[in-house]
A = this chain, B = another copy of it.
Amino acid sequence: MSDFVVHPSAICESTQVGRGTRISAFAHVLPGACIGADCTIGDHVLIENDVVIGDRATIRPGAQLLDGIRLGDDVVVGPNATFANGVPANGPKTLGELPPTLVADHASIGGGATLDRGITVGRNARIGAGAVVTTSVPANAIVHGNPAVIKGYVDAIRPQSPLSPTVTGEAMDLVGGARLVHLTRADDLRGSLAASELTRDLPFVPKRFFVVYRVPSAEARGEHAHRACHQFLICLAGSVVVLVDDGTERAQVVLDNPGIGLYMPPMVWSTQYAHSPDAILAVLASDPYDSNDYVREYDEFLSLRRGDATTDASATPPTGAAS
């Protein structure tokens, strides 16, 4: 076609290439590949047949996109980034049984990073340069290292230290109605006590109490919103970082002492990560466990926040005991 540009040294065998896309020197696009509009395909890039790329994506030089990759709009793939596509040692017998690797809109993958086959990179996430990604990455998360772990979230508000001695007994609003609550404390030689008068501090009556502990530091937990359930989180030992996201803004708080609680209203997305080895997170909830109350897909969460009529909550299958 005449509305995309191929360097004379490149080979483009596909006709499914969007308007305004440029394909650089020595790149090779196989016939089955499907590329959106206004993309930049760098030098020495290979795009195999079973590859779909959205609009405005940038594939920097040396990246190799083998079969089984789906990239959303505005994705950036760094130079020499690698999509591993062998069958894992403990995985299925053939590649055909593996799901494709998905990179959602606006995510970016650093130069020299490596992604295991079959993982999902969430919307707007950032994979650091040289990271080796072995598990899926939540929306907006920033990951680094080998193996890669979450180091933070893009554009998350980080409130002033919640331990400020000038804010005793006060609540601090975060986003989406979530707030930090300073508990009443009494410390003396006989020990320490931190207390919350529930009818004063919380807008709900607790019907469930649970504790999450012994979480490996590389794990993220939570990663869901509740449709109706309120929660109150207190980190009683160690520390954990909690991301609070109302679909528009994000805030990131470190819970690291029993004197602070985090109130989470319904329909706020949360993720807990960077658990210290001794972290113990106690949670009071307004409702007994109900798997239908969980929104587990971030895209569904965004739709619900926007008031999309098409979302059918009842379509979420039950998934057993969960946190």
Contact = CB atoms under 8 A, between A and B. Distances in A.
A1 interface: no
B111 A86 contact: yes
Most B CB contacts (10 A, CB to CB) among A191, A205, A216 go to A191
Contact of A189 (B144, B198, B199, B216): B216
**Main SS of chain A's interface residues?**
loop
A247 interface: no
A92 interface: no
Given A146-B130, A190-B221, A221-B190, A196 B209 contact: yes
A278 to B, nearest CB: 7
A152 B184 CA distance: 31
Chain A residues touching B, range: 35 or more
What copy number does this chain have within its complex? 6
A92 to B, nearest CB: 14
Q: Which 7 A-B pairs have the closest CB atoms?
A: A130-B132, A84-B111, A191-B215, A112-B114, A195-B210, A84-B129, A114-B130
Interface of A: 9, 11, 24-26, 28, 42-44, 46, 60-62, 64, 66, 76, 78-80, 82-86, 89-90, 108, 110-117, 126, 129-132, 134, 142, 144-147, 152, 154, 165, 183-184, 186-187, 189-200, 205-216, 219, 221, 232, 234, 236-237, 258, 275, 278, 280, 282, 284, 288-289, 321-323
19 contacts: A9-B11, A25-B46, A44-B44, A44-B46, A80-B80, A82-B129, A86-B108, A89-B142, A111-B114, A129-B132, A183-B210, A186-B323, A189-B219, A192-B214, A193-B211, A197-B207, A198-B208, A211-B282, A236-B237
